A = this chain, B = another copy of it.
Amino acid sequence: MTTEAAYLKQYDASRFPAPLVTVDSVLFTLHQQALCVLLVERAQPPQEGRWGLPGGFIDMAHDDSTRATALRKLTEKTGISPAWLEQLDTFSGPDRDPRGWSLTVAWFALIAWADCQPRITSVSDARWVPVGALGDYPLAFDHGEIVAAALRRLRQKTMYSLLPVYCLPDTFTHGQLQEATEIVLGQPIQRKSLIRRFEASGMFEETGESLATGARKARLWRRKPGVDIHLFSRNLLAD
Chain A: residues with CB nearer than 8 A to chain B?
3-4, 7-8, 11, 13-14, 16-21, 45-48, 57-58, 60, 64-66, 87, 89-90, 92-94, 98-101, 103, 105, 159, 233-235, 238-239
Contact = CB atoms under 8 A, between A and B. Distances in A.
A208 B57 CA distance: 56
A11 B87 contact: no
A103 B21 contact: yes
A94 B62 CA distance: 9
A16 B45 CA distance: 16
How many copies of the chain does the oligomer comprise?
2
Given A4-B47, A66-B90, A233-B235, 13 more contacts: A8-B99, A11-B99, A16-B57, A18-B18, A18-B20, A18-B21, A19-B21, A58-B103, A60-B100, A64-B93, A64-B94, A65-B93, A103-B105
A90 B105 contact: yes
A55 to B, nearest CB: 14
Contact of A4 (B48, B90, B93, B234): B48
A14 B45 CA distance: 17
A71 B3 CA distance: 31
Contacts of A45: 3-4, 7-8
A239 B20 CA distance: 46
Contacts of A93: 64-65
Given A8-B45, A46-B8, A19 B99 contact: no
Contact of A103 (B66, B89, B98, B234): B66
Contacts of A58: 19, 92, 101, 103
Chain B CB within 10 Å, residue with most, of A90, A234, A235: A90
Contact of A92 (B66, B94, B234): B66
A156 to B, nearest CB: 9
Nearest to A6: B45
Nearest to A8: B98
A9 to B, nearest CB: 11
Contacts of A94: 60, 64
13 contacts: A3-B48, A4-B48, A18-B18, A18-B21, A19-B21, A21-B103, A58-B101, A58-B103, A65-B93, A66-B92, A87-B89, A90-B90, A233-B238
